[in-house]
């Protein structure tokens, strides 16, 4: 590569910043990271050759502040800026400001971003080009009454969608006219917070659709190619959860037609750089949704099947080079699938999880396994940014092999210290409909109860694994005495220790027996010899009876997460000397489940609220969360107002239970 720039500033954070740094380093390009106060110790900061502080944690004052980022590039002598994805990646003003400062913007021109970055403008352009569109409204008149009338014309159900949006933010489904006003208000609030633009469009909501997108690339010499399609159908709240390439159920003819339409869309605006043309598909055909004028979160699955580095392509095209390959030279091999690992609690409505990562264990990379992350053990996950921790990307000879390898890899991915969606992803990867490729965008919501169901009743081997984890937890001492030994040695007689675990669906119990001859474990009516060895990799070899199993175990306080050959378990060790805990939810108080800002309040003191009725909306990690009344009662007090920031556990409202007749 003949470089017009030797130093690259990355105007982003987290895993995408780390991923760009790796490619730039391989190409001999120096890198500059930017960081907010919340990211001073972040992985991307330590990986870069230089780093510049750009402000406090709120994105509007740091990662969305164009002037600060341009100043950081000029100060460090960076000749180019890579925007990553999210934040300013599809902001034409940022592209213009970069070019005005004499800095290369690694992405399309401001004109292309303007043409395709707005969903409304893109739909108008595609309509003129003859690309099939979902019926809807993408006009400039944003009056509530006009939007309501257009929704009525299109016919319910409709999707209310942020024109400047992405990542599932600023989107609501209105099933009927009664739902429309609330859906519009919620989508506007979220769009304004995430993108600084509350312009809305209306689309007919297609029932049971598939989401197919095509990776396109253009250069400044007039060439445009496609790099096959990706299936992004498995979604929750319009946020992609699993992505794969190629699509599970497209014929070669369908694949060629949808890729041809994507190339035509990119060519119509003289597109330069990486972009993604997104379609919704069903049995009747496919329809253009939008074009994302940036690199996508899910780009690694395309890299896995093509063997190409799309960030390298971006840097080469930005440097003025031609595309490295022509369309007929681009080939694919095998199948790839990606899951997004989030700091969130699926059992509590997928609320974001905040805290320090106490332990991080991942499957070894290589042999078709790739992990992109911006976190490591000891890092803090804060409420200020998207809660994605990592992307696990798997490649296999075919789809069945890729999914099987994905399930096994998820079994051995552990993050302790906060809740994650790993158990949910593990269940999803093994769901029969996913395995068969019979998917639509509503599958996760329909199957959510089963996907969140805890593992089956623990087997004796699982209880033995948990018991060994407790016994192995005692730290080694420099000069252990016989009383510190954990091999069961006794001078005479025997000693018994009861272990009790809360398993989520109930309890698991075992008795550890210390006697001459070693340790024994009583599980129900069975008594098994028990011994274990600590391994150098932190895992345990557990021998119960005549069976040896290797388990991975992580502690966070009294919470134990461990993986056995039968599955993943999250248990809590109970102090059997204490009484029952008091009900933390008693008293009719509504508490903040995570740090965040109050965005809307639905009730006033004195109102009677029913169980499940919305009381207020909190915003955390760029997403809104509705908090509902825990029981029928009278709202006695509201402790905070709209705009207030509250900490996790804050007492938000007091609800006096209604008296019931005896």
Catalytic residues: 294
- CB atoms under 10 Å from CB of 320, counted, come to 12
455 token code pair = 């593992």
Closest CA to 170 of 135, 194, 153: 194
Distance of alpha carbon 8 from alpha carbon 80, whole angstroms? 5
Rounded Cα distance, 330 and 400, in Å: 24
Residue 213 tokens read as 């997108």
Q: What is the pairing mode between strands 359-361 and 414-416? A: antiparallel
Nearest in space to 592 (alpha carbons), one of 418, 351, 260: 351
Q: How far apart are CA 130 and CA 261, in angstroms?
A: 10
Contact 503, 458 (CB under 8 A): yes
Give me the phi and psi of 408, to 5 degrees please. -65, -40
Beta-ladder partners of 600: 617
Cis amide prior to 157 (ω within 30 degrees):
yes
* Cα distance between residue 46 and residue 22, in whole Å: 12
Rounded to an integer, what distance in angstroms lies between the CA atom of residue 393 and that of residue 414? 16
**Alpha-carbon dihedral 599, 605, 608, 610, rounded to 10 degrees:** 30
Q: Tell me the C-alpha distance between 446 and 429, whole Å.
A: 16
> What string of DSSP letters covers 89-102?
TT-HHHHHHHHHTT
Residue positions counted in the chain: 662
Contact 470, 573 (CB under 8 A): yes
Burial (CB < 10 A; 0-12, 13-18, 19+), residue 321, is middle
CA distance 416 to 419: 7
Give the orientation angle of helix 422-429 with respect to helix 399-411, to 10 degrees.
150
Distance CA 36, CA 34 (A): 7
Half-sphere exposure (CA, 13 Å, Cβ side) for 369? 16
Q: What sign has the CA pseudo-torsion 476, 478, 484, 490?
A: positive
**What distance in Å separates the CA atoms of residue 140 and residue 171, rounded to the nearest whole number?**
18
What are the angstrom distances between the C-alpha of 126 and each of 249, 252, 265? 25, 24, 7
Instruction: Please return the burial class of 585, using the count of CB atoms within 10 Å of its CB with bins 0-12, 13-18 and 19+.
Output: exposed
246 cis-preceded (ω within 30 degrees of 0): yes
Nearest to 551 by CA among 341, 559, 560: 560
Chain Cα centroid distance, residue 126: 30
Judge contact between 301 and 310, C-beta under 8 A. Answer: no
Q: Helix axis angle, 92-100 relative to 110-117, nearest 10°?
A: 180
**Cα–Cα distance for residue pair 273/88, rounded to 1 Å:** 16
Please give the backbone phi and psi of residue 341, each rounded to the nearest 5 degrees, phi first: -95, 120
């Amino acid at each position: 590569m003949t470089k017009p720039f030797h130093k690259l500033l990355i105007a982003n954070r987290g895993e995408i910043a780390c991923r760009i740094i790796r490619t730039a380093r391989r190409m001999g390009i120096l890198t500059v990271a930017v960081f907010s106060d919340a990211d001073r110790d972040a992985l991307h900061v330590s990986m870069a050759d230089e780093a510049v502080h750009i402000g406090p944690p709120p994105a509007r004052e740091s990662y969305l502040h164009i002037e600060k980022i341009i100043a950081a590039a000029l100060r460090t002598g960076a000749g180019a800026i890579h925007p990553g994805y999210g934040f300013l990646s599809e902001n034409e003003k940022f592209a213009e400001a970069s070019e005005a400062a004499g800095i290369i913007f690694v992405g399309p021109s401001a004109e292309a971003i303007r043409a395709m970055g707005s969903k409304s403008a893109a739909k108008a352009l595609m309509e003129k080009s003859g690309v099939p569109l979902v019926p809807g409204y993408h006009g400039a008149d944003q009056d509530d009454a006009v939007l309501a009338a257009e929704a009525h014309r299109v016919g319910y159900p409709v999707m209310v969608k942020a024109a400047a949006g992405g990542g599932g933010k600023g989107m609501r489904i209105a099933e009927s006219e009664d739902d429309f006003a609330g859906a519009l208000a919620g989508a506007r609030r979220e769009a304004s917070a995430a993108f600084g633009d509350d312009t809305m469009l209306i689309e007919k909501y297609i029932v049971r659709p598939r989401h197919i997108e095509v990776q396109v690339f253009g250069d400044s010499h007039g060439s445009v190619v496609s790099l096959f399609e990706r299936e992004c159908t498995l979604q929750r709240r319009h946020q992609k959860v699993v992505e794969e390439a190629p699509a599970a159920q497209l014929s070669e003819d369908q694949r060629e037609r949808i890729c041809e339409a994507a190339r035509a869309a990119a060519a119509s605006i003289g597109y330069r750089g990486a972009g993604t043309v997104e379609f919704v598909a069903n049995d009747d055909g496919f329809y253009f949704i939008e074009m994302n004028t940036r690199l996508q979160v899910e780009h690694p699955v395309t890299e896995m099947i093509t063997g190409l580095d799309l960030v390298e392509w971006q840097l080469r095209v930005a440097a003025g080079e031609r595309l490295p390959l022509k369309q007929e030279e681009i080939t694919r091999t095998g199948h790839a699938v990606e899951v997004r690992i989030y700091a969130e609690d699926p059992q509590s409505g997928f609320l974001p999880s905040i805290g320090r990562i106490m332990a991080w264990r991942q499957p070894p990379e290589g042999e078709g396994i790739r992990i992109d992350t911006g976190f490591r053990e000891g890092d803090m996950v804060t409420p200020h940014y998207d809660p994605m921790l990592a992307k696990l990307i798997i490649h296999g000879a075919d789809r069945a092999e890729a999914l099987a390898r994905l399930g096994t890899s998820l079994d051995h991915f552990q993050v302790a210290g906060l809740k994650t969606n790993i158990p949910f992803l593990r269940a999803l990867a093994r769901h029969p409909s996913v395995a068969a490729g019979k998917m639509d965008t509503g599958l996760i919501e329909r199957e959510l109860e089963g996907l969140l169901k805890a593992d089956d009743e623990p087997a004796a081997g699982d209880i033995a694994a948990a018991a060994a984890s407790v016994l192995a937890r005692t730290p080694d001492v420099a000069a252990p005495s016989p009383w510190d030994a954990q091999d069961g040695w006794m001078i005479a007689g025997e000693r018994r220790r009861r272990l009790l675990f809360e398993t989520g669906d109930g309890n698991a119990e075992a008795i550890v027996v210390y006697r001459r001859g070693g340790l024994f474990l009583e599980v129900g009516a069975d008594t098994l010899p028990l011994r274990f060895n600590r391994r150098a990799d932190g895992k345990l070899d557990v021998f119960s009876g005549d069976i040896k199993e290797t388990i991975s175990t992580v502690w966070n306080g009294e919470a134990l997460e461990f993986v056995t050959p039968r599955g993943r378990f999250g248990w809590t060790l109970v102090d059997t000397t204490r009484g029952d805990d008091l009900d933390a939810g008693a008293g009719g108080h509504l508490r903040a489940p995570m740090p965040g800002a109050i965005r809307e309040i639905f009730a006033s003191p004195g109102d009677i609220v029913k169980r499940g009725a919305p009381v207020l909306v909190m915003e955390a990690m760029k997403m809104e969360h509705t908090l509902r009344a825990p029981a029928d009662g009278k709202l006695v007090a509201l402790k905070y107002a709209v705009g207030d920031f509250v900490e996790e556990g804050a007492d938000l409202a007091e609800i006096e239970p209604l008296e019931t007749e005896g």
